[in-house]
Structure 1
């Protein structure tokens, strides 16, 4: 399998070629308001039936082929890496996510420099022999709940840095760790009844009472979370019996080396306990900030940096692993260095969207043309089929717009009136959005959170794809059944 960077390069090249075949189009936009958490929120959305092609001199729809190279900050094919990396702002993809990944990588580099994590893991293994298997259902449930309640996603990158070595030390592999962290959050995200970044925004834009339909969604969340736990448990059990069956066996060697020839009893003391307490207190601070203060990428990155800094100071005071003040700096640099490929791939993946003209519905782009064409597929077919097509469309479109709120703003204003015409309730249209958006977040290489988590776990995206595609097929079948069932019971 080719390297992840190679795969993304050829995807970008394919998108660039499409700009010579598919004409660019644009929508009119408007501001829409909705109530969320008792407060009025505003979102810029496209106006249905306002799509128009960019016309050439002959009055016909015109293509706007991407050039090979652009000057003055333009977006030519060869500019895709730089332009991708600087896209957006500190609140989101790509530049915000890149900075987020590098900072938390550096923060955990400091923690790893103290060896507090490794020594604590070894102590835990020594104390919990025979009960290690419980980590899978407990962690999966907690992370799924985090995705459902407050839209946990990018945060999984940091938690993977903690849990990957834990899971490998217990005899499993890095893939198992990604399943119980990032994948679990996306199952929660996709089936949530209250996620403020997904279902709440989609319902507000669609004109559906925000947070309505909760009983159905809570049951759906419980079902899919159980499916994820069982699937992960079965897979992890096979790997524990024969670790060499793992697709990540070779890359896991990086973590396995940390647990060789280490004296468990001699390397665990007050300093280790204080660092663990620092991490726990930091996680509580982060959860509180996200839930109560709506903290996002800038605040969370700073919180993780604070955790790393405090851990480093504790390491110096207690001389953990011969830690020094300069060791704090070295640990930060090493941690950022290790996670750099994941940060780069986030920017490269954003180049896919840049080649298609960006994700602004008011600006001419091939992406808008594709969105408009897909919107016309749901008419003149049975109601259940229309709803299923909406789900498939959202799943495919998520490759281009991974942000849940961004995809909702682009697609729900178009899908909502189409649902009315097709006889599909708007509640089902929202359901199709959240399932299509959330589940494919686990596999698309354009997801910064996924690529960051895989980077923390040292797993190549190509290997992850090979493992994940079977799980995606299972989720696709089950989600299709849920969508059709929702139509048949008149979910609204």
Structure 2
């Protein structure tokens, strides 16, 4: 059964979006367009049905709407301070910065050194690594990178007598908890906030507290499971001798770069909270970190100037797919007639229909419904950036109708996407991680479902708290 699941391949996100766009282009002309009357609060009572439906052709010019126009229209929508233009520029610059930072090797050496320092204290090692990968998910949006680290850590995990699934917990699961509770991840919360027109990286205090609580719960579960299933460490695995991982102390360059990362995080938090920094300033802060890391690496003779430039381009290239996802997702919004509440669109009609369904629900339950929708959607779309681009235009508008803040809608997106990714069998990164660890999905689900239930209840509690405090 596990072999059959491992061969199952979910179509590329762009293919899913393309077919969604095609379906929408076919359906939209048959659905009444609507708008919310100007001069009145956006509510169910201010909704009006337009006189004419939206017409969509295959190719359009001027102000007409065309199916083949959707990618370009989506990519060029918005402004430098929001989606899509500003967010796309932000993602490319941050991706390039991360490419340079990764090329210096400082992060890898830091993690290896951490393993050596805590190696004689296995529980401390597991807890520290879990926290480190959770921080990676929160700050860098770490996901695919955990597969390589899992392969590196697995011999040590087995050497200590722990089952291989513990390695999946301290790498992949930790990164997903970090992603779901992040206060600054540019590919998750920042992207969703930009699309929802919420101040970038706002609401950080609650998210930082949530990060600490969720990570503590993850560490507690991992240590409980690891200790319960630990066996006598064996000298060999599959006939091969397993040796402890060794590394030299961190070089001065490593310390400078890691210190620069920490300093930049502090600078960004200060800038957002105290100085009102937004997308242009935050992107420039990451560029500054990129220059600093590159200069240190060049002086330490780890990179040449050309290699640093190539690493920047390579890091940005890795996020071109995310850029195209955002463009096509915003193109779908264009096919629906746009997100302007005062201009006739099918999106406004959808918002009115969902709002009518939820109008009798108190905001507390409406927010839980948003969390449920985001969680269920993860079975089809696993990418955090893709789900933000597809769902946030609808969810942010819906939040206005049912009396829930847009910040709470972003929180529901975060928690629903990341937490479901810990167990859904259609997730490529999860299945790859389980493949590296040699753990069948059926066994994994039998292990993780208790923790998944706990995290779900904690997520529901956090969304409820956000509603009660009017989270902004």
TM-score interval, normalised by the smaller of the two chains: 0.5 to 0.7
> Residue 84 of structure 1: which of 59, 63, 74 is its match?
74
Aligned to 1:175: 172
8 Å contact kept, 2:272–2:278: yes
1:235–1:295 Cα change, 3 Å: same
State the 1:437 CA deviation: 4.4
8 Å contact kept, 1:27–1:51: yes
- 1:291 matches 2:273: yes
Aligned to 1:335: 315
How far apart, CA to CA, are the structure 2 residues paired with 1:461 and 1:165?
Answer: 9
State the 1:103 CA deviation: 0.7
8 Å contact kept, 2:55–2:65: no
State the 1:26 CA deviation: 0.5
- 1:133 matches 2:126: yes
8 Å contact kept, 1:187–1:439: no
1:438–1:352 Cα change, 3 Å: farther
How far apart, CA to CA, are the structure 2 residues paired with 1:395 and 1:476?
Answer: 10
> Which aligned pairs between 1:254-265 and structure 2 lie closer than 5 A?
264-265=247-248
How far apart, CA to CA, are the structure 2 residues paired with 1:118 and 1:412?
Answer: 41
How far apart, CA to CA, are the structure 2 residues paired with 1:287 and 1:481?
Answer: 25
TM-score of the superposed pair, with normalisation by structure 1: 0.63
TM-score of the superposed pair, with normalisation by structure 2: 0.65
Cα deviation digits, residues 112-152 of structure 1 (max 9, x gap): 22222222222221112222322366469879xxxxxxxxx
8 Å contact kept, 1:118–1:165: no
1:141–1:108 Cα change, 3 Å: closer
Cα deviation digits, residues 358-404 of structure 1 (max 9, x gap): 1110011001111112222246x6x66x8535642686599777559
Aligned to 1:185: 182
Aligned to 2:290: 308
8 Å contact kept, 1:106–1:336: yes
How far apart, CA to CA, are the structure 1 residues paired with 2:321 and 2:228?
Answer: 31
8 Å contact kept, 2:366–2:402: no
1:304–1:461 Cα change, 3 Å: farther
> Residue 69 of structure 1: which of 33, 36, 59 is its match?
59
1:485–1:184 Cα change, 3 Å: closer
- 1:8 matches 2:17: yes
1:109–1:94 Cα change, 3 Å: same
State the 1:79 CA deviation: 1.9
- Aligned pairs, how many? 391
1:227–1:368 Cα change, 3 Å: same
How far apart, CA to CA, are the structure 2 residues paired with 1:362 and 1:461?
Answer: 42
- 1:374 matches 2:374: no
1:27–1:438 Cα change, 3 Å: same
How far apart, CA to CA, are the structure 2 residues paired with 1:486 and 1:109?
Answer: 35
- 1:415 matches 2:420: no
How far apart, CA to CA, are the structure 2 residues paired with 1:293 and 1:485?
Answer: 27
Aligned to 2:99: 109
How far apart, CA to CA, are the structure 1 residues paired with 2:275 and 2:400?
Answer: 28
8 Å contact kept, 2:371–2:413: no
1:84–1:20 Cα change, 3 Å: same
> Residue 305 of structure 2: which of 309, 315, 325 is its match?
325
Aligned to 2:330: 350
State the 1:303 CA deviation: 0.6
How far apart, CA to CA, are the structure 1 residues paired with 2:266 and 2:344?
Answer: 44
Cα deviation digits, residues 182-211 of structure 1 (max 9, x gap): 1122899xxxxxxx9999989xxxxxxxx9
How far apart, CA to CA, are the structure 1 residues paired with 2:371 and 2:331?
Answer: 20
- 1:269 matches 2:251: yes
